[in-house]
Amino acid sequence: QHFRLAVIPGDGIGKEVIDEGLRVINHLEKSSNGKFSFETDYFPWGCEYYLENGKMMAEDGLEQIKNHDAIYFGAVGFPNVPDHVSLWGLRIAICQGLDQWANIRPVEFLPGVESPLNHPDRDHLNWVLVRENTEGEYSGIGGRNFTGRGPGKEVAVQSSIFTEEGCERIIRHAFELARTRKRKKVTSVTKSNAQQYGMVLWDEVFERVSKDYPDVETDQWLVDAMAAQFVLHPEDLEVVVASNLLADILSDLGSALAGSLGIAASANLNPDRKYPSMFESVHGSAPDIAGQGIANPIGAIGSAALMLENLGLQNEAELINKAIRETTKEGLLTADIGGKNSTKEVTDGIISHLSKI
């Protein structure tokens, strides 16, 4: 099998961690004895590209990547370009343009990693966030200065869009995912007491869809209470489905509880398989540590594992995840999770465990 990857390193530590993920993939490719091979096309889009060209990606950028088998993405954003420009110009443009409507973000607790969570069963906790990735609060609809009133009196409007179809497909996806996991449970999170239109629609769709899955346990929460639940009773979580903004926030909370943003992986899926899916760590470009060689590569390497799984290489994906756990257990850790190792040393550790398994 031959796969074509579109690689978009982006900015800051995005560039550093993507190299590490590709090193791991190259290693697996070499030891696969020709079972599979990868070809990588690089796209230099991001904030530097913006400063030269006035846009974050090429005009026909989506055309250039839409026929690849998968997209491997670093992170975007750097202090010299406003964050809403960089995010909308690249990451959101790709997710929405290629209809990657399901963002999957596993929360995984790794052995040997310091975590602020005090829980008796901590090393065995894991749950997964299913984030609606194309509409909701990130619809991009609204505007500034509607009333034309003077300085200090501006009014801005930011609208959310919730479509019945959009809610249904992401909720169904969460139920299907729950069926593949040990404890079949889906928790839906909204703020439908305060957001009385879109999120009430979401709740109604959730109740309707849940009837098709009598074998799956369900739960419905408001997001403020769910934030507390993440900290107090994470053992109750299995698959958590929520809107674009709410799941974005909860996933950072989840990865911080697990020890660091640097270890969280994610997949932006087009489950219809009409377009390629995109794989990226949850963290951003981390300008505060960029260029120092100390970024944690585990989020990006875990995202590479999600990519291989999506390409049908389940065994290889599992091998990577196992090697990550062996490496943290052994104490090879970057500074964000309480260690002293460099980005490269951690990846080398993961690769050497891969050679042993």
Please answer whether residues 172 and 209 qualify as being in contact, where contact means their C-beta atoms are separated by less than 8 angstroms.
Answer: yes
Query: In the range 67-106, which residues lie near ligand NAI by CB under 6 A?
Result: 75-77, 83, 86-87, 91
Nearest distance, CB of residue 261 and ligand NAI, angstroms = 4
Nearest distance, CB of residue 77 and ligand NAI, angstroms = 2
For 48-79, letters b (16+ CB in 10 Å) and e give ebbeeeeebbeeebeeebbebbbbbbbbbbbe
Residue 326 near which of Mg ion, ligand NAI, none (CB within 5-8 Å, type-dependent): none
Which one among 56, 250, 295, 307 touches ligand NAI, defined by CB under 6 A? 295
Nearest distance, CB of residue 348 and ligand NAI, angstroms = 16
Q: Which residues pair with 38 in a beta bridge?
A: 3
DSSP H/E element including 189: strand 185-190
DSSP H/E element including 268: strand 265-269
Binding to ligand NAI by residue 258, rule CB under 6 A?
Answer: no
Which one among 238, 248, 280, 336 touches Mg ion, defined by CB under 5 A? 248
Query: In the range 148-177, which residues lie near ligand NAI by CB under 6 A?
Result: none
- The span from the CA of 106 to the CA of 272, in Å, is 21
Binding to ligand NAI by residue 116, rule CB under 6 A?
Answer: no
Residue 234 near which of ligand NAI, Mg ion, none (CB within 5-8 Å, type-dependent): none
**Closer of 216 and 306 to ligand NAI (Cβ):** 306
**How buried is residue 190: exposed, middle or buried, by Cβ count under 10 Å (0-12/13-18/19+)?**
buried
For residue 300, give the nearest of 254, 248, 260 by alpha carbon: 260
**Closer of 244 and 347 to Mg ion (Cβ):** 244
Q: Give the pairing type, strands 37-42 and 277-281.
A: unpaired
Length, in residues, of the chain: 357
Which one among 108, 336, 339, 346 touches ligand NAI, defined by CB under 6 A? 336
Residues that bind Mg ion (CB under 5 A): 248
Residues that bind ligand NAI (CB under 6 A): 13, 17, 75-77, 83, 86-87, 91, 261-262, 280, 283-289, 295-296, 299, 334, 336
